């Protein structure tokens, strides 16, 4: 339960609160009035957190709509599968040529997934959070490029924000491909290898029964 809450907290912080706060700050600086907060600091912090979270949810759904084509992208899916097959072939070739198989990457992967089983997928939720964060930042960056000139007087800052948004987009593409890759890897080691082990065990039992 604690692990689940930590993942949810990371996901909300990255993909909701931070983009939401940046959007609120942009709207306040572009269209709001420079007025002082009349209440105490704690109230301001709680209000800012709640508003940022709500606005962040809106940004999250806007980003999902804008970049929905990345959710189940065939090109990225195929590229990840091709890369996994190439890496797998290279690792198996390395293992076959190694004098000590326990030093190979393929032995490490098989052992890792066999020992950790479903827990070996714990690195995927953080990747999903990173993907969602970069996706939301692309939308927020676009808003800053469109409206930031109202309070940002330096052109280089607008250019830097635009470049940062492009970098976020590239990271988002790369992260989505890595997520596909790790799903193929997990399927191979968790499902296919288990099926092979079960088949080998059944065959061994049948041979023993025949011999008896």
d(CA 190, CA 201): 16
Q: Can you give the C-alpha Rg of the chain in angstroms?
A: 24
d(CA 43, CA 30): 23
d(CA 7, CA 54): 19
Count of Cβ atoms closer than 10 Å to residue 85 Cβ = 12
- Phi, psi dihedrals of residue 71, rounded to the nearest 5°: -65, -45
Q: What is the pLDDT of residue 195?
A: 61
- C-alpha triplet 191, 79, 181: angle, nearest 5°: 35
Q: What is the pLDDT of residue 181?
A: 95
d(CA 31, CA 59): 18
Nearest of 155, 120, 138, 20 to residue 68 by alpha carbon:
138
Q: What is the pLDDT of residue 4?
A: 45
Per-residue confidence in pLDDT tens, the chain, 212 aa: 445 445 556 667 777 889 999 999 998 888 877 666 777 778 888 888 899 999 999 999 999 999 988 878 899 999 999 999 999 998 888 877 776 666 678 888 888 888 888 788 888 888 888 899 999 999 999 999 999 988 888 899 999 999 999 999 999 999 999 999 999 999 898 887 666 555 544 444 444 444 44
Q: What is the pLDDT of residue 55?
A: 94
Q: What is the pLDDT of residue 167?
A: 97
């Amino acid at each position: 339960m604690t692990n689940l809450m930590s993942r949810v907290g990371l996901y909300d912080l990255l993909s909701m609160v931070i983009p939401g706060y940046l959007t609120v700050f942009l709207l306040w600086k572009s269209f709001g009035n420079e007025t002082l907060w009349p209440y105490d600091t704690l109230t301001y912090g709680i209000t800012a957190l709640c508003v940022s979270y709500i606005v962040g949810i809106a940004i999250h759904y806007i980003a999902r709509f804008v970049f929905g084509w990345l959710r189940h992208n065939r090109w990225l899916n195929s590229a990840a599968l091709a890369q996994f097959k190439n890496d797998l072939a290279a690792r198996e070739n390395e293992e076959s040529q190694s004098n000590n198989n326990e030093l190979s990457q393929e032995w490490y992967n098989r052992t890792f997934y066999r020992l950790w089983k479903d827990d070996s997928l714990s690195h995927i939720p953080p990747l999903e959070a990173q993907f969602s964060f970069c996706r939301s930042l692309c939308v927020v960056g676009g808003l800053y490029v469109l409206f930031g000139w109202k309070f940002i007087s330096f052109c280089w800052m607008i250019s830097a924000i635009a470049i940062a948004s492009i970098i976020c987009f590239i990271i988002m593409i790369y992260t989505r491909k890595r997520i596909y890759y790790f799903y193929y890897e997990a399927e191979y080691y968790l499902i296919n290898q288990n099926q092979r082990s079960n088949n080998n065990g059944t065959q061994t039992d049948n041979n023993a029964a025949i011999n008896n």
